[in-house]
Structure 1
């Protein structure tokens, strides 16, 4: 490749990253995204009002039950649930890591299951964390941190238990395989979990920048293996999970084997509002 071609390729690499990062920032700052979360509630067996949400809430026989007063509104998919001037509504049972979104005025009420427990998280676009969000700093894109690897499936998916950003719960994932790659002259391996998109894998990791220039608990990278097992790991697209921004998140921590012994000076850094934690 001559100098002109190399320069054009680098410009394209940078431009692609800029477009991706801008889109990721727009998604992060969605009016009802995780920056809008105002409370994290763990309803129990006793009916209790939850700040930021209408009604009284309890968990009973594996489902969530809400009793609404006559003047309270709660909608699902645009349909008003409080149709009788005071209604009891049931949600669930829900699968682990699944959830539903309900509407109450400008607020979205997330009902989900995390670590085997139900959570209720109101999301309001007026939340100061969202209103004051300045964007997330990131390393200048560097093609040296965009590397090829090989996805090696396990003979049987491995049940993997990891900690969480909040105390008292654990997350259990099925790890279908591992990704092997070389970086900074070292042979490295990362355990992969199934990703959100079909055919994708999610990798949680820390590295030698964690707690210094990048968030100390975790970062995440999404990859899609080819049919022959080849995979492209672009660490310039390593992103923060919600727990990097708010204490109202239940994010998983990486498995112990995903603590990389090299500095990954690529991808997102510590958010502005967490710079004091460096």
Structure 2
């Protein structure tokens, strides 16, 4: 093989694109199937002002303005920041979409706040959903679905209320603006929320594949920080399922009504092999 051939192979943009996508997909699956990841969640418990016990969680729990409180009986304990905790423990107020993870026998316990409610979610590595996970099917990576877009900011962030995977629950997000783009000449736009990294964006959407080849309720796409002209890249090959595609114990947000795309986004993750028990979506 000549040096010219080696050089041409090393910079093949199609090969680089596919290699990068497969590496991203592998890492994403690893996080999903982590011993204490979303596939390990075994329950969802809603805390109230009335003390109550749950069969898979130590202690008696209640919550109020001062946040979750647990009272542990003799022989019960939690591990918080590496320290064994007995008796009564006050967690303090938990911010919306935040939470803490503590150790319990056989796993961990997420103490969190979602949609204005304090919740508990135990996670155990031996959960059958995690042990039987076969991976998530996807569309083959295709550079056709790497699209250029433009972020158009609102004059000020708009509080946007959306539904949730749990009936009766709502989430409120500040939407900083919208992302404009086109698919096969069709102009489209998506309301964007703030992403995980400062300045980045996240969009929730459904399209005409939803409920056919992709999960019906939602998919999520991370979008990098817009440049000075507002330009962004939307790589729909990296459109992912949210936890509610895998478990009934998720509180995922649904897309805003305007984020229902009238096109088939044949890219990214598809319907999982095993849907949650409460989901009746079909497969193609």
Give the CA deviation at 1:14. Answer: 1.0
What TM-score do you get using the length of structure 2 for normalisation? 0.92
Contact kept in structure 2, 1:39 and 1:51, CA below 8 Å: no
Question: Counterparts of 1:133-152 in structure 2 under 5 Å?
Answer: 133-152=133-152
Give the CA deviation at 1:273. Answer: 0.4
Give the CA deviation at 1:229. Answer: 1.1
Give the CA deviation at 1:15. Answer: 1.1
Equivalent in 30, 44, 51 of residue 34 of structure 2:
30
Contact kept in structure 2, 1:184 and 1:262, CA below 8 Å: no
Counterpart of 1:274 in structure 2 is 275
* Structure 2 residue 61 is matched with structure 1 residue 57: yes
Contact kept in structure 2, 1:203 and 1:221, CA below 8 Å: yes
Moved over 4 A (4+): none
Question: Counterparts of 1:43-192 in structure 2 under 5 Å?
Answer: 43-82=47-86, 87-192=87-192
Gaps (5+ residues) in structure 2? 1-7
Q: Distance in 1 between matches of 2:235 and 2:147?
A: 6
Contact kept in structure 1, 2:247 and 2:275, CA below 8 Å: no
What TM-score do you get using the length of structure 1 for normalisation? 0.94
Gaps (5+ residues) in structure 1? none
Q: Distance in 2 between matches of 1:200 and 1:52?
A: 38
Give the CA deviation at 1:61. Answer: 2.9
Counterpart of 2:252 in structure 1 is 251
Give the CA deviation at 1:188. Answer: 0.4
Contact kept in structure 1, 2:100 and 2:112, CA below 8 Å: yes
Give the CA deviation at 1:47. Answer: 1.2
Cα RMSD for the two superposed structures: 1.6
Q: Distance in 1 between matches of 2:275 and 2:179?
A: 30
SS in structure 1 at match of 2:187: strand
Post-superposition Cα deviations, 1:36-86, rounded to whole Å, max 9, x if no partner, equal 00000001122111122110111133411100012112011111111xxxx
Counterpart of 1:204 in structure 2 is 204
SS in structure 2 at match of 1:199: coil
Post-superposition Cα deviations, 1:88-146, rounded to whole Å, max 9, x if no partner, equal 11112011111110101231110111110111000010111101000000000111111
Counterpart of 1:262 in structure 2 is 263
Q: Distance in 2 between matches of 1:251 and 1:80?
A: 32
Contact kept in structure 1, 2:33 and 2:39, CA below 8 Å: yes
Q: How many residues align?
A: 271
SS in structure 2 at match of 1:274: coil
SS in structure 2 at match of 1:25: helix
